[in-house]
Amino acid sequence: MNNQSLISVVIVSYNAEALLQRCLESIYAQQYTQIEIILIDGDSKDRTVTIIQKNAARIAFWISEKDNGIYDAMNKALNYVKGQWVYFIGVDDVLTPEFSALAQQLNDPATIYYGSVWKSGKKYLGKLSPYHQAKTGINHQAMIYPAQVFAKKRYDTQYTISADHVLNMELHKDPLYHFEFQNFTIAVFNDTGVSSLKKDQLFEKRKANLILQNYGWGIYFRFLFKTLKAKLLKH
């Protein structure tokens, strides 16, 4: 394959000795070769650092030190990426071969590309309308960002679980970027992680206003109507 752009694949880890090697192997197995791995570890107390050290020759940059959560670690990683594209994978997730197929489609630095992931053995979520992007959000492991996005943006660490959703809301409004779906299922997403089991209370409190700010009145009123309808049906 020629003319490949460099993709920075970011992994953040903490006490992940049972998961990290599997995640790394799924990256090593990619047909797309222009990938650098940036690994930020949160001062793990198990054998995670030993595993990192054994893989150090294939990792472009790694560090192990205390951080203030997942998004703080991801922001830290962004200081070290050298790729034209950036992809974030959970240490408990793995890439599929179709990641390389999507990687071959990356050609427009104004486009945020996304596909699908496998979740509980099923394809999840597919192509999303602006309304569903606002309401549900694109799965983080399904997205490849142009690196220039992060020249001016970082994840808002006020949001402990949904900072990626908030960033994507802001990018939807940003006239410099647009989202494009490609029909590839690029990762196997672990749905037993913290983001699947808990809600970000601050985000839930602000969600309607964030939708209004970034998607406009039409989607805002649709969201309020659907939310009210769901509450009425529940009771």
Question: Has residue 3 got a pLDDT over 90?
Answer: no
Angle at 66 between CA 45 and CA 88, to 5 degrees: 95
Residue predicted with more confidence, 121 or 197:
121
Write the secondary structure of the chain as one string of H (helix), E (strand) and C (coil): CCCCCCEEEEEEECCCCCCHHHHHHHHHCCCCCCEEEEEEECCCCCCHHHHHHHCHHHCCEEEECCCCCHHHHHHHHHCCCCCCEEEEEECCCEECCHHHHHHCCCCCCCEEEEEEEEECCEEECCCCCHHHHHHCCCCHHHEEEEHHHHHCCCCCCCCCCCHHHHHHHHHHHCCCCEEEEEEEEEEEECCCCHHHHCCCHHHHHHHHHHHHHHHCHHHHHHHHHHHHHHHHHHC
Q: Mind listing the pLDDT tens digit for each residue in 99-124?
A: 999 999 999 999 999 999 999 999 99
Choosing among 3.10.50.40, 3.40.50.150, 3.30.70.20, 3.90.550.10, the CATH entry for 7-234 is 3.90.550.10
- Does 45 have pLDDT greater than 90? yes
Model confidence band, residue 231 (pLDDT cutoffs 50, 70, 90): confident
pTM of the model: 0.95
Distance CA 30, CA 178 (A): 26
217 pLDDT above the threshold of 90: yes
Find the range with the poorest average confidence among 10-14, 192-196, 215-219: 192-196
What is the chain's mean pLDDT, rounded? 95
Per-residue pLDDT tens digits for 23-33: 999 999 999 99
Q: Residue ranges per domain, the chain?
A: 7-234
**pLDDT at residue 196 tops 60:** no
Per-residue CA distances from 235 to 228, 229, 231 (Å): 11, 10, 6
Confidence band, pLDDT 50/70/90 cuts, at residue 191: confident
Residue 96 in this model has a pLDDT that exceeds 70: yes
**Sign of the four-CA dihedral 79, 165, 96, 54:** positive
